[in-house]
Amino acid sequence: MTMLSADFIALEQALGAHNYKPLDVVLARGEGVWVWDVEGRRYLDCLSAYSAVNQGHCHPRILAAMVEQAKKLTLTSRAFRNEQLALFYEEVATLTGSHKVLPMNSGAEAVESAIKAVRKWGYEVKGVPEGQAEVIVCANNFHGRTITIVGFSTDPDARGGFGPFAPGFRVVPFGDAAAFEAAITPNTVGFLVEPIQGEAGVVIPPAGYFKRVRELCTTHNVTLILDEIQTGLGRTGKLLAEEHEGIEADVTLIGKALSGGFYPVSAVLSNSEVLGVLKPGQHGSTFGGNPLACAVARAALKVLTDEGMIENSAVQGAYFQQALAGLRSNIMREVRGRGLMIAVELHPEAGGARRYCEALQARGVLAKDTHGDTIRLAPPLVIGREEIDWAMEQIEPVLTGAV
């Protein structure tokens, strides 16, 4: 019996936990910027699995690396060494200018690992009294879904009903350097922040904010931790979003596109001073740094740089934003973004972004609403002008009321 979209959706509803509210499209295949549902309808993917498939769906070079490695060796645990890990270290360190690399699996694991390492650094290097380390975070942050992370979220949906939470975090407004400075104490060991707040609706800080933050962190001996899990690896038109302000973080977190969407791979990138505090037995992961993950990540990084995807993100992102900003629409409040990380914020009276995402789905464009009134547009970095022009032909009537 052939199952249709409605059958899959009914089965999901009956057996799955209802912790997501996806658009009602059931995807079966992907290639480049396009995906197809089980009935064969084609869609332009304008979410890229939250920037995990920057390299496009099922990129053949990454697929080949995955298949080749899967035939040889997939998992050893870190009890033994494997031939892929050292090469992964070398290539990611060379590309990003990092001195030390800690491989993990999910983005949330990278965040948790960074918090652990920076707290330990605070006690052993900075001299903070044991148990008193503080990490400053920003309001409207999104760093993952673990208990520690949702404990310092300001989103009531993310944290409501999940307490008690771990202490040791202070929340300040995003983009306000003076508020950050005022929150620093002798016990502050780190500042964990997204270069651009993705889940909050592609919120870009004021020019000069990160230069000032970098100065303050250096002055007060505070570790600057940039969560580049979504903004990194070409999404904003630079390898890392920190490059837009010419700064360098002390700790950089990458994930998502690190595997091109084939496999969960993340990493903490830092210096010897911070990651050097971790000794054998103090932190680990059975799957972190496994040979399959490393082979996939190595191919994903090569593809990103060899095929000019970062530069394409800058060029096509500017073109896409300009086209969106040129729409004559009564419901659009603002278009903002960097590279191919774009948001269209609607006026509250538009009735919410979800209905417009559903209208776009009906016209073959998959985008996702966030924070009620914002549509996020983040296609794979392989998108070309022709696909953007086609997308605009679908987006324009939806946002201008022509349909």
Catalytic residue among 100, 120, 238, 256: 256
Two structure tokens written together for 259:
């595997």
Residue (of 400, 299, 381) closest to 46 by Cα position = 381
Check if 8 is active-site: no
Catalytic residue among 37, 45, 88, 142: 142
Please give the DSSP secondary-structure letter assigned to residue 32: B
Measured CA to CA, the distance from residue 306 to residue 54 in angstroms comes to: 14
Check if 142 is active-site: yes
Measured CA to CA, the distance from residue 115 to residue 192 in angstroms comes to: 9
Cβ density class 25-61: b for 16+ within 10 Å, e for less: bbbeebebbbbebbeeeebbbbbbebbbbbbbbbbee
Measured CA to CA, the distance from residue 129 to residue 320 in angstroms comes to: 50
Half-sphere exposure of 308 (CA within 13 A, CB side): 6
Whether the CA torsion 86, 300, 26, 321 is positive or negative: it is positive
Whether the CA torsion 365, 258, 302, 321 is positive or negative: it is positive
Q: Judge whether 331 and 324 are in contact, CB under 8 Å.
A: no
Catalytic residue among 227, 250, 369, 373: 227
Cα 383 to chain center, whole Å? 19
Check if 279 is active-site: no
Q: Are strands 223-227 and 251-254 parallel, antiparallel or unpaired?
A: parallel
Which residues are identified as catalytic? 142, 227, 256
